[in-house]
């Protein structure tokens, strides 16, 4: 029998990627599937971004070879400028910034340098499914901090503190939250920051949905709070805001000593991000900010249509999303688990949604509906299929 590394014990394939593969197979067989599974924008990358990448390719070797492993200096400059203007965070682009292959690599590198074998890492539950596996692959032990529907999926900082042993070194934080759509309030962020300072934790914050806000909700970057810059690694990417998921350009901002060690992991892992994709990212930050706002306006309309369609429907429970691009749906009375729920809607209604258990213990019983990949014209059909499938559960 083949022997595998102990670190791989329990590490599962991505539920969202496997579901996407299943959808492709069903479509090849002639099934009409509406996918609400992946958080993949259904917009095209802005033209100015694509043209910048093409122009870089035409320049030849300068943008078809390795760049500085830390990332193109001009990209680090525009990211630092963005963080200053929009996040109230001042960073040195030469010492406190690292351009990565998406936000996923930024998070992984941060965990690699901050987590020792057996260290505990706090992670909100439910939250993005890859956090737990990245923690385990770094030798750490994920400790779930519940986000409960009765609290609108907002954190209880005191409960978080009660769950934290002396072995906790890191807290992974994501707001706006995937999959719940909750946006942690400034007061909640201040409480979390206070606890982190008192307990000497480092926060890894995933801010990939920072622009996806509805109503009067506001995004707070923990690193900008008093005393937090030296104990926070801020991770983000171009993927969601500019519909650049396949470009794989992200970044990490943090204390110089942490970024320096992350750079070492990054060099051995990927050498450097794609050169011409970085040139496209420069154009995104400098010439395509309005494209992000246009996309969020479309998401806002989709969210409202779903709210109106689901409102008053007793067979589905949800908390209106405050940010991101998700509804986290619960089906009271259903006698099957979330994986079975996902399979039911896919097979019976041609509606693909991600099982909530993929996002943690407290996600069981839910399905994540992503409205990133479905245009407004399709929402009546989505609602019809969702209600039909729900009635079949009774």
Domain ranges of the chain: 6-45+290-389, 48-287
Please state the length of the chain: 394
CB 31 within 8 A of CB 236: no
The tokens describing 97, both together, are 């910034």
User: Under CATH, which number does the domain 6-45+290-389 receive?
Assistant: 3.90.1150.10
Beta bridge partners of 327: 369
pLDDT of the residue at 6: 80
Fold (CATH) for 48-287: 3.40.640
In the chain, where does DSSP find H-type helix?
15-28, 47-58, 73-87, 102-114, 130-137, 157-163, 186-199, 256-269, 275-287, 289-310, 338-349, 379-391
pLDDT at position 323 over 90: yes
Q: pLDDT (tens digit, 9 = 90+) per residue, 341-359?
A: 999 999 999 999 999 999 9
pLDDT given for residue 2 in this prediction: 83
Q: Does 21 or 291 have the greater pLDDT score?
A: 291
Round to whole Å and give the CA distance between 110 and 112.
Answer: 5
| Per-residue confidence (pLDDT) for residue 101, from 0 to 100 | 98
For 205, the 3-state DSSP assignment is strand
| pLDDT of residue 20 exceeding 80 | no
Give the model's pLDDT for residue 199: 96
Question: pLDDT category, 196, cuts 50, 70, 90?
Answer: very high
Mean pLDDT in residue range 128-141: 95
289 exposure class (CB count in 10 Å sphere: 0-12, 13-18, 19+):
middle
* pLDDT tens, position by position, 31-71: 888 999 989 999 999 999 999 999 999 998 889 999 999 99
The continuous run of DSSP H or E covering 232 comes out as strand 232-237
Q: Which of 80-84, 92-96, 345-349 has the lowest mean pLDDT?
A: 345-349
**What distance in Å separates the CA atoms of residue 258 and residue 109, rounded to the nearest whole number?**
10
pLDDT mean over 170-195: 98
Let me know the angle formed at the C-alpha of 362 by 175 and 119, rounded to the nearest 5 degrees. 70
Residue range 197-202: mean pLDDT, rounded: 97
Query: What pLDDT, on a 0 to 100 scale, did the predictor assign at position 253?
Result: 98
Mean pLDDT, residues 139-156:
97
- Which one, of 146, 170, 141, lies nearest residue 156 by Cα? 146
Mean of all residue pLDDT scores within the chain: 95
Q: Are the C-beta atoms of residues 112 and 138 closer than 8 Å to each other?
A: yes
Q: Are strands 351-352 and 34-35 parallel, antiparallel or unpaired?
A: parallel
How big is the chain by its Cα radius of gyration, in Å? 21
pTM for the full predicted model: 0.95
């Amino acid at each position: 029998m083949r022997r595998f590394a102990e670190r791989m014990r329990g590490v599962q394939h991505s539920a969202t990627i496997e579901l996407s593969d299943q959808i492709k197979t069903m479509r090849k067989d002639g099934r009409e599937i509406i996918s609400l599974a992946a958080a993949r924008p259904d917009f095209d990358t802005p033209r100015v971004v694509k043209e910048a990448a093409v122009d870089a390719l035409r320049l030849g070797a300068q943008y078809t070879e390795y760049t500085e492993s830390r990332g193109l200096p001009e990209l680090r400059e525009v990211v630092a400028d963005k963080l200053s203007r929009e996040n109230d965070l001042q960073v040195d682009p030469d010492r406190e910034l690292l351009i990565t292959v998406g936000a996923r690599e930024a998070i992984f590198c941060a965990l690699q340098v901050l987590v020792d074998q057996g260290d505990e890492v706090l992670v909100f539950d439910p939250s993005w499914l890859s956090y737990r596996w990245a923690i385990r692959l770094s030798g750490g032990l994920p400790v779930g901090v519940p986000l409960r529907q009765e609290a609108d999926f907002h954190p209880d900082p005191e409960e978080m503190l009660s769950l934290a042993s002396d072995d906790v070194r890191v807290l992974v934080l994501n707001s706006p939250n995937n999959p719940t759509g909750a946006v942690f309030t400034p007061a909640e962020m201040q409480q979390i920051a206070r606890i982190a300072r008192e307990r000497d934790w480092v926060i890894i914050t995933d801010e990939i949905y920072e622009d996806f806000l509805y109503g009067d909700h506001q995004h707070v970057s923990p690193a900008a709070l008093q005393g937090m810059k030296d104990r926070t690694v801020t991770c983000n990417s171009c993927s969601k805001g500019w519909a650049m998921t396949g470009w794989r350009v992200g970044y990490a901002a943090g204390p110089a000593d942490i970024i320096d060690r992350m750079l070492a992991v990054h060099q051995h892992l990927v050498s450097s991000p794609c050169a011409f994709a970085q040139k496209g990212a420069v154009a995104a930050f400098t010439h395509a900010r309005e494209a992000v706002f246009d996309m969020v306006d479309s998401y806002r309309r989709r969210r409202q249509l779903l709210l109106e369609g689901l409102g008053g429907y007793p067979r589905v429970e949800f908390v209106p999303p405050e940010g991101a691009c998700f509804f986290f749906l619960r089906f009271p009375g259903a006698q099957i688990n979330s994986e079975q729920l996902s399979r039911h809607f896919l097979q019976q209604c041609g509606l693909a949604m991600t099982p909530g258990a993929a996002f943690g213990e407290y996600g069981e019983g839910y399905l994540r509906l992503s409205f990133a990949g479905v245009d407004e014209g399709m929402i009546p059909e989505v609602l019809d299929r969702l209600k039909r499938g729900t009635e079949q559960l009774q």
